[in-house]
Amino acid sequence: MIQVGDYCRPASVAEAVTLCAREGAVSFAGGTDLMVKARGRSQFRDKTFVDLGGMSELSFIRDEGETISIGAAVTLTQLLQTAAIKESVPLLWQAASRVANRQVRNRATLAGNIANACPASDCIPALMVLGASVTVTGTEGERTIPVAELFRSCEACLRHDGMQVRTCFFLETVTKKLTLRQGELITSLEISKQSAEQRSVFYKLTENRSSGMAVLNFAMTGSLGADGTVTAFSVCPGGVFPKPRCFPERENPLLGRLPDRALFQSIVQEISDSLAAEKDTLAGYAYKSRVLPEILQDGMAQLFLGIPMEGSEWSI
Amino acid sequence: MQEKTVRFYVNSVETEVTVSVNDRLLDVLRNQLGLTGTKEGCGIGECGACTVILDGKAVNSCLVPAASLDGHEVVTIEGLSEGGTLHPLQDAFARHGAVQCGFCTPGFIMSAKALLDENSHPERTEIQEAIAGNLCRCTGYEQIIDAIEDAAGKAEP
């Protein structure tokens, strides 16, 4: 059993906007986070769940040329079974393939994963380094928000040991963790296709190699020029910061240089230094601060030197 | 408490029930329809004991709102055996010692069925990935994977 006031299922986005504008409306699509939160707590007793799941108007994956547009009701399984996604945005495909398990992926949506805004989300780091944006609609109309501007800083989430859904502090995330207005809902995501030179690595560290929440994860992209020097690099680590961040944040010390582990250390050090600011807030800091630099080094070695990370052979 | 009437197929039988908005598919199956083969292990979508097949996809029935079921199709473990004859998966699980306490078994079999319906001859690694959302405290999984491989081997190519 869960504890909720009411349930409704709009047939269209227009109807959803009307329903979501009402007091106490909580929108969802797959419900794989929401149904867990509603089971244990009573704070949804006066709320109405607005079910966007399976809405045909939101169930599209469109190739727009340089970008791909993904509707908010597209499940992670549908994403994974779409060849265009695996070919054009392999980093997102990799990240989505590591979310939970098949049963969850058959219901969960990319939009929901973003809207839930967990610091340990697997898809969010990929969307950050790929420079994705979301299209949002509400009674005041439609707007587009870059993913990098979608999240609010949340120190409380760092204190949340394990970052499990069932003990999440925030039942509703729209105004607490996101820069959305009450009543707004995500209708689609837009992602730039990875270029031919744009390599990527996604890595997720879990307890016991289980399919649970990430203890640490990261998504990184980079490219090498014809002379073998670095022409681009960006990484978003997950499970560590109060809101998603891409590194390097200022100048990129890798550009124009030949990749080697000593060079990677400049990026790794910047991230470690930033992480040190969370020392008193982040649950598991002692572990994460020691392990994150190691896996980042290994990730960059895989990205630029072709040395596979341990555990990266897991694939669908 | 708000209620909704939903009409949906359960094991190919058209079923109409009035559900509370607080019901999950799991609750309706067990409490209203008497289909207690589907189990609640964790209630949070991590153990897979509640796995059923919804519109052809394996899902955790503990995460599906009952009010959303109108027009959908559910297959539970009870829907696998016909007239007392075990489904090849059930038979393989029994022969391979893949069942000890049996609590996880319906969930595993439904995940396996969903896999074989999509991919009738999976590699062992594909089986492992497909059942990653089903936990077993008894067996150590090897017998379960052997059983699924066996059942897959008996499927039509």
Q: Which of B79, B101, B133 is the last residue of a domain?
A: B79
Give Cβ neighbours of residue A280 (< 8 Å, ≥ 6 apart).
Answer: none
- Substitution target from A75, A80, A101 for chain B, most B beta carbons within 10 A: A101
Residues B16 and B35 in one domain: yes
Do B22 and A32 count as a contact with CB atoms less than 8 A apart? no
pLDDT of residue A191: 98
Chain A CB contacts of B20 under 8 Å are: 1
Q: Which of B23, B52, B79 is the last residue of a domain?
A: B79
**How much of chain B, in percent, has pLDDT values that exceed 90?**
94
User: Residue A297 belongs to what domain range?
Assistant: 201-305
User: Do B144 and B108 form a contact (C-beta atoms < 8 A)?
Assistant: yes
Do A101 and B23 count as a contact with CB atoms less than 8 A apart? no
Residues B40 and B60 in one domain: yes
Please report whether residue A27 resides in a domain: no
Tokens linked to B10: 């359960």
CA distances for B102 relative to A68, A234, B150, angstroms: 45, 48, 19
Q: Which of A127, A159, A191 is the last residue of a domain?
A: A191
pLDDT digits (tens, 9 = 90+) for A217-273: 999 999 999 999 999 999 999 999 999 999 999 999 999 999 999 999 999 999 999
Residues B130 and B64 in one domain: no
**B113 conformational bin, left if phi > 0, alpha if psi -120 to 50, beta if neither:** alpha
Do A35 and B65 count as a contact with CB atoms less than 8 A apart? yes
Q: Which of B79, B102, B129 is the last residue of a domain?
A: B79
CATH number of the CATH domain containing A297: 3.30.390.50
Band of pLDDT at residue A210, cut at 50, 70 and 90: confident
B106 touching A (Cβ < 8 Å): no
B60 touching A (Cβ < 8 Å): yes
- Give the count of domains, chain B: 2
Q: Which residue from B minimizes the CA distance to A7?
A: B21
User: Residue B69 belongs to what domain range?
Assistant: 3-79
Q: Which of A201, A203, A159 is nearest to A292 (CA)?
A: A203
Residues A81 and A181 in one domain: yes
The model scores a pTM over 0.80: yes
Q: Which of A191, A210, A240 is the last residue of a domain?
A: A191
Do B57 and A77 count as a contact with CB atoms less than 8 A apart? yes
pLDDT digits (tens, 9 = 90+) for A2-51: 999 999 999 999 999 999 999 999 999 999 999 999 998 899 999 999 99
Please report whether residue A35 resides in a domain: no
Chain A CB contacts of B41 under 8 Å are: none
CATH number of the CATH domain containing A167: 3.30.465.10
pLDDT digits (tens, 9 = 90+) for A71-86: 999 999 999 999 999 9
Q: Does residue A314 carry a pLDDT above 50?
A: no
- Give the count of domains, chain A: 2
Q: Which residue from A minimizes the CA distance to B71?
A: A54
Chain B CB contacts of A166 under 8 Å are: 44
Do A102 and B60 count as a contact with CB atoms less than 8 A apart? no
Do B63 and A107 count as a contact with CB atoms less than 8 A apart? yes
Residues B40 and B106 in one domain: no
User: Do B97 and B90 form a contact (C-beta atoms < 8 A)?
Assistant: no
Do A1 and B27 count as a contact with CB atoms less than 8 A apart? yes
B15 touching A (Cβ < 8 Å): no
Residues A127 and A206 in one domain: no
Q: Pick out chain B residues at pLDDT < 70.
A: 154-157
Q: Which of A145, A165, A191 is the last residue of a domain?
A: A191
